[in-house]
A and B are shown apart, each in its own frame.
Chain A
Amino acid sequence: MDERPEDRLVEEARRGGREAFAELVRRHERRVYGVVFRMAGNRSDADDLAQEVFLTAWKAIASFNRSASFYTWLYRIAVNKSLTFLKKRRREKDRTEFDENLSVAASARGLPSSPEGSSVLSELRGRMDEAIESLPAPFRASFVLVAGEGLSHADAARVLGCSENTVSWRMHKARKLLQARLKPFLGEVRS
């Protein structure tokens, strides 16, 4: 495990240090992957998106403003890439009139689509991923960063370029939408 502080790694990477950048990738790949996976909704697209995030970060690392955290900057790239991807996917979907019903989406994701043979938590996660996919993009981005990645409202606001109040409202609205959509299932789990 490389013990060098992150600031030093970033500085070395800015000067073209590939090995320092590789270490930054190792430190942040799980978090970046978590964001793009929840935004995109499936693993194969998430893998490609995470690759693109780090490639973009490498190409732009000289413009990284060191007053912000490196992971905040990476998250911003991840959200941007995911939004571009979602737009493209929506356009393609409209063009081919592809009927993406939810059970097919769940199967493709490799998650159980029925309660049989699965734990309640994995069933909940599968349904959550589907429900998150139905959220409007600004709500989804806030929810993924705060509820999924554990960012504070202030950090999420820095990533998304908005105020903390906006993040707070988006979280409230996202939770209300998710709760309304999953209400019957949540009732079953609680009982």
Chain B
Amino acid sequence: MRCGTAKKRLSDDLDGALAPERKDRLEAHLRSCPACRAYRDDLVLLQAGALYPADRSPECWAAFEKRLESKLAGEEPGRGAVGIPFSGRRRWAWAAAGGMALAAAGLWFALLRPGTAVTAAWVPDEDALIPLLQEAEADPELERDVDREIRASIEEMTPVLDADIIFLPAADPLFWESLSDDELRFIASELEKETGLGGPK
């Protein structure tokens, strides 16, 4: 038996709450452990210091009863509620635990839910992009990967169009990227004539 366990059982034993078979094992440990024996002696002293009657003279009790009687005189017996000690503390503990669980669930959904690959951020930094594109020209596999990433990032930024107004070249994000400013302005003006709403700016 470890000393930590022995100390816990010593406390239970003093309160008369230790099962007999556990008590035997505790006694065996105490015979071989002077530190736990000293701890037991300390606990016995503490018990002696704690267990004493709140002694007051009979006159004190008589005065106490008289004072209470006068207070009770103006009161009727009722159905007032008697709460459980520390229940407020428990409510706070449950509320805190619930809050933490919600926060954990939120984090899980935001960052780690299945199916969401956490990839390195795409950095549209011109200095970093040029060497990468040069390297991709010499490596077909890297070229495919870079192409896929570019398409995915453009798709993310492209607004969703209605299916009935979509036309085939416009469905390709790279189509819009390849147009010059003059061409875009021309398309915008033509759309404005047709619909009165204007086109992509």
Contacts and interface: CB of A to CB of B under 8 A. Distances in A.
Interface of A: 13-16, 18, 21-22, 25-26, 29-30, 33-34, 37-38, 46-47, 50-51, 54-56, 58-63, 73, 76-77, 79-80, 83, 121, 124-125, 127-128, 132, 137-138, 141, 143, 146-148, 150, 152-153, 159-162, 164, 168-169, 171-172, 175-176, 178-179, 182-183, 186, 189-190
Contacts of A182: 42, 46
B43 A125 contact: no
Q: In the complex, which of the residues A14, A51, A175 has the most CB atoms of chain B within 10 Å of its own CB atom?
A: A175
Contacts, number: 152
B46 A179 contact: yes
Q: Is the interface of B mostly helix, strand, loop or mixed?
A: helix
Nearest to A150: B51
Given A56-B82, A125-B49, A161-B84, A61 B77 contact: yes
A159 B87 CA distance: 12
Contacts of A46: 54
16 contacts: A13-B77, A21-B77, A29-B61, A29-B65, A54-B72, A55-B72, A59-B78, A60-B79, A60-B81, A61-B78, A62-B79, A63-B81, A137-B86, A147-B46, A164-B17, A178-B46
B80 A63 contact: yes
Contact of B69 (A22, A30, A47, A63): A22
Contacts of A178: 46
Contacts of B53: 30, 34
B158 to A, nearest CB: 60
Closest 7 CB pairs of A and B: A161-B84, A60-B80, A128-B49, A147-B50, A34-B54, A124-B49, A172-B11
Interface residues of B, number: 45
Interface string B157-195: 000000000000000000000000000000000000000
